[in-house]
Chains A and B, each alone.
Chain A
Amino acid sequence: GENVEQHPSTLSVQEGDSAVIKCTYSDSASNYFPWYKQELGKRPQLIIDIRSNVGEKKDQRIAVTLNKTAKHFSLHITETQPEDSAVYFCAASASGYSTLTFGKGTMLLVSP
């Protein structure tokens, strides 16, 4: 089955800096890669996703990149703000009716 590795497990940045979280996956059939943000005590919420037919997608301060050859994808957050502090999860699946396999999560702390 699919295996998703996520790094780093914790990341501390100063407000205004950029943050990058990286994930690798094992199943070459995977073609859907969402990212979830989970604030303390809350549910995971989808913040951005990318499919294998594109290499990059941006939404305001958030961007995801995908390298299918190397089987890795990354989340980039620019101009970080304290409210970006949360746990971020990457995931992968073969689109359609396949389940998501999640990475172990990255705790991002943005200091004012």
Chain B
Amino acid sequence: DAGVIQSPRHEVTEMGQEVTLRCKPISGHNSLFWYRQTMMRGLELLIYFNNNVPIDDSGMPEDRFSAKMPNASFSTLKIQPSEPRDSAVYFCASSLIDGYTFGSGTRLTVV
């Protein structure tokens, strides 16, 4: 298995633009998580899907953030409009029961 695959690896965008981050979980895993990592706040859970259904989105900062999981092999995290304070590394992770496997992350820079 290739592991959790995220794209793009790096994204630089201008404030106000729409940003879409993508994730392909490990085949057979039924849970998918989006985390944001910054120096100040560490690893923050944004949203959690189980069997493609959003279970907990209480970590989504505000309405500018949205996430979808249309099928078991694909998820997106969208930021519209993006702001400089959204700059961070965004990780996707998947699991079957315990023990997440993280993707390589997307480093987002909003200028």
In Å, the complex CA distance between A95 and B97 comes to: 7
Q: List 18 A-B contacts (CB under 8 A).
A: A32-B98, A34-B98, A43-B91, A43-B103, A44-B43, A44-B102, A46-B99, A46-B101, A49-B98, A89-B42, A95-B98, A96-B97, A97-B50, A99-B33, A102-B42, A102-B43, A104-B42, A105-B42
**How does the 8 Å CB contact mask read for B34-60 relative to A, with 1 for contact and 0 for none?**
000000001101001010000110000
Kindly state whether residue B104 has any CB partner on chain A within 8 Å: yes
Which B residues lie within 8 Å of A100 (CB)? 45, 100
Distance of A71 from chain B, by nearest CB (Å)? 19
Kindly state whether residue B31 has any CB partner on chain A within 8 Å: yes
Which B residues lie within 8 Å of A32 (CB)? 98
Which B residues lie within 8 Å of A26 (CB)? none
Which A residues lie within 8 Å of B45 (CB)? 99-101
Count of A-B contacts judged by CB separation below 8 Å: 42
State which residues 64-98 of A face B: CB under 8 Å. 89, 93, 95-97
Kindly state whether residue B105 has any CB partner on chain A within 8 Å: yes
B91 CB contact (under 8 Å) in A44, A49, A101, A103: A44
Known contacts A43-B104, A104-B42, A105-B42; is A99 also within 8 Å of B56 by CB? yes
In Å, the complex CA distance between A42 and B48 comes to: 22
Interface size class of chain B, counting residues whose CB lies under 8 Å from the partner chain: 10 to 19
The residue on B at minimum CB distance from A104 is: B42
Kindly state whether residue A12 has any CB partner on chain B within 8 Å: no
Which A residues lie within 8 Å of B102 (CB)? 43-45
Distance of A99 from chain B, by nearest CB (Å)? 5
Extra 4 A-B pairs, beta carbons < 8 Å, given A43-B104, A99-B33: A42-B104, A46-B100, A95-B98, A105-B42
Which B residues lie within 8 Å of A44 (CB)? 43, 91, 102
